[in-house]
Amino acid sequence: MTDSKKTGLSRRGFIKASAAGAGAAVGSGIIGAPMIWAQTIKDVTLNQVGPSYSVIADICEKASVDLGFKIVPQTADSTALMAKVVNQPETIDIADLEFWAMQKVWRSGQLQPVEVAKIAKWGDITPVMKDGKNFDGSPQSMQGTTPVKVMYTGGPGDTAFSASPTDFATTMPTIYNADTVGIRPDLIGRPVESWGELFNPEFKGKTALVNIPQIGIMDAAMAMEALGELTYGDKGNMTKEEIDTTINRLIELKKAGQFRAFWSTFDESVNLMAGGEVVIQSMWSPAVTAVKSRGTPCVYQGLKEGYRGWGLGMGLMSHLEGIKLEAAYEYLNWYLSGWQGAFIARQGYYSSVPTTAKEQLTANEWGYWYEGKAATEDILDPYGAVMDKAGAVRDGGSFESRMGNVACWNTVMDEERYMVQRWNEFVSA
């Protein structure tokens, strides 16, 4: 409420100022205009809403200082954010949406496309985010929501995605990563190389899956495929039969006591691992770091079948217009200018424009996070705590070997309703 009022005020202020500017311009040419612009943009406040790993207060603060207008961070997990985008669009200005979430919310028409021409660094965005190609030029896995599938749209008002690149992007890609399983090397004591190990009876009662249906079932599918039990047409869009086979197998495993837990939150996954409850499980990368920081050995184990990829983009809400929209574009451009890329690199995520992030990282950091080289000195997180010792190498190696080896992408399936129903059956079995 107050927010829309503020917009109104600033817009009115802008009109007044431009009228004055027009008067001034008669005398002094157009020199006055940028000054007036700078005065009014200061009144802008942008609400950025997204998951905690993307919307970070430190980044918003730094941007507010650099840009001169205020960016207010607000965290909401992806499911809550989707509901907010659809039902309360006016409470958000910029939404940090997972690509799979775009499959659900874009057609609601609550977002406006990002004009590619207004993003200065668009051309520098990595091909894995916008071109559907790996670093060596080979096509990416199209299982699940590959970013390119939801990257482009026909233009303003179009609620469908465009298969080929256009001048209008649905969101501007920001951060992404390749997910795999976390393991306790000290408790396993032998190399782990395949997703199939999740179902290995050796780890009976010591494995866990994430209790987010569409991600948990995909981790299970990676394991099933690795074991040769089922080859999926598309793990990111299973048929009813494939869902049935997968869930039935999961129920069988559950009844045999294979799983210790199904976790829902970050801290649950950390505690399961750190407390020795599980030795192998689905995990997010910062959770592995959190376990390590407690002095417990934990590896984010790259597996031969490949990674499960995910990524986010910043979406502009439809109600943005005028000076507020201009401010939003300025913020988007700032986002790709390097500071944010370096910040999230230190948390283990990749920036959509690695070249600018590189400028803001030390050679040691760049080598560790992006090139898979051994750290020459201690690696610090964004807040200065030691994450890894000198000599350590990032799990899974370089940016290209990790992001270039994504087997499937986080997604929503056509048969989602059925899948969620069966997942509930699995959890209650």
Partner 1 sequence: MSRSSGRSSPLTPYLQVAPLALIMLAMVGIPLITVLLLSFWQSDGISIYPEFTWANYQQVLTSPVTLTLFLNTLKYAGLTLIATLLIGFTCSYFLVFHVRNLKWQIGLFLLCTIPFWTSNVIRMVSWIPFLGREGVFNQALISAGVIDQPLDILLYSDFAVVLTYIHLFTLFMIVPIFNSMAKINPNLIEAARDAGASGWQILWTVIVPLSRTGIALGAIFVVTLVMGDFFVVRVMSGGQSASVVSAMKNQIDQLFYPEAAAMAVLLIVVVLLMVSAILRIVDIRSELAK
* Among residues 4, 28, 52, 264, the one that binds partner 1 under rule CB under 8 A: 264
**Between the CA of residue 232 and those of 23, 243, 254, 426, what are the distances in Å?**
68, 10, 22, 20
Closest Cα partner for 173 from 254, 249, 116, 109? 116
Task: Tell me the H-state helices in 68-144.
Answer: 78-87, 99-105, 127-130
Q: Which stretch binds partner 1 (CB under 8 A): 31-39, 126-134, 338-346, 413-421?
A: 413-421
Q: Considering beta carbons, is residue 260 or 346 the nearer one to partner 1? A: 260
Nearer CB in complex with partner 1: 276/297 = 276
Choose which of 105, 222, 357, 408 interacts with partner 1 (CB under 8 A): 105
Alpha helices (H) in 48-169, listed in sequence order: 57-67, 78-87, 99-105, 127-130
* Spatial contact of 382 and 282, defined as CB atoms under 8 Å apart: no
Instruction: Give the residue, chosen from 162, 271, 351, 356, that forms a contact with partner 1 under the rule CB under 8 A.
Output: 271
DSSP state of 144: B
Stretch that binds partner 1, among 34-42, 346-354, 363-371, 414-422 (CB under 8 A): 414-422
Determine if 86 is a binding residue for partner 1 (CB under 8 A): yes
Near partner 1 by CB under 8 A: residue from 233, 275, 297, 391: 275
Nearer to partner 1, 28 or 264 (CB): 264
Token pair of 6, please? 């503020």
Comparison of 183 and 406: residue with beta carbon closer to partner 1: 183
Tell me which of 23, 205, 297, 391 binds partner 1, using CB under 8 A. Answer: 205
88 binds partner 1 (CB under 8 A): no
* Residue 424 contacts partner 1 per CB under 8 A: yes
188 touches 299 (CB < 8 A): no
Q: Binding to partner 1 by residue 187, rule CB under 8 A?
A: no
In the DSSP assignment, the letter for residue 55 is: S
Strands 45-50 and 70-75: parallel
Q: Are 207 and 195 in contact (CB under 8 A)?
A: no
Find the farthest-apart pair of alpha carbons in the chain and give their distance in angstroms, rounded: 84
- Our CB check for partner 1 shows the closer of 103 and 356 to be 103
**3-class SS at 410?**
coil
- By CB under 8 A, tell whether 183 contacts partner 1: no
To partner 1, the closest distance from the beta carbon of 2 in angstroms equals 24
Torsion of CA 235, 241, 247, 249, to 10 degrees: -100
Q: Does 373 engage in binding with partner 1 (CB under 8 A)?
A: no
Size of the site for partner 1 (CB under 8 A): 38
If one asks whether residue 207 binds partner 1 (CB under 8 A), the answer comes out as no
Residue 254 binding partner 1, by CB under 8 A = yes
Q: How far is the C-alpha of 113 from the C-alpha of 184, rounded, in Å?
A: 44
By CB under 8 A, tell whether 211 contacts partner 1: yes
Backbone CA torsion sign across 55, 307, 297, 188: positive
Residue 406, classed as helix, strand or coil, is strand
* SS3 assignment, position 62: helix
Cβ of residue 94: shortest distance to partner 1, in angstroms? 20
In angstroms, the CA 201 to CA 213 distance is: 23
Give yes or no for residue 82 binding partner 1 (CB under 8 A).
yes
Q: Does 303 bind partner 1 (CB under 8 A)?
A: no
Nearer to partner 1, 231 or 428 (CB): 428
* Residue range at the interface with partner 1 (CB under 8 A); choices 12-20, 79-87, 224-232, 371-379: 79-87
Angle at 277 between CA 275 and CA 282, to 5 degrees: 105
Residue 284 touching partner 1 (CB under 8 A): no
Binding residues for partner 1, per CB under 8 A? 79, 82-83, 86, 104-105, 107-108, 205, 208, 211-214, 254, 259-264, 268, 271-272, 275-277, 412, 416-417, 420-421, 423-425, 427-429
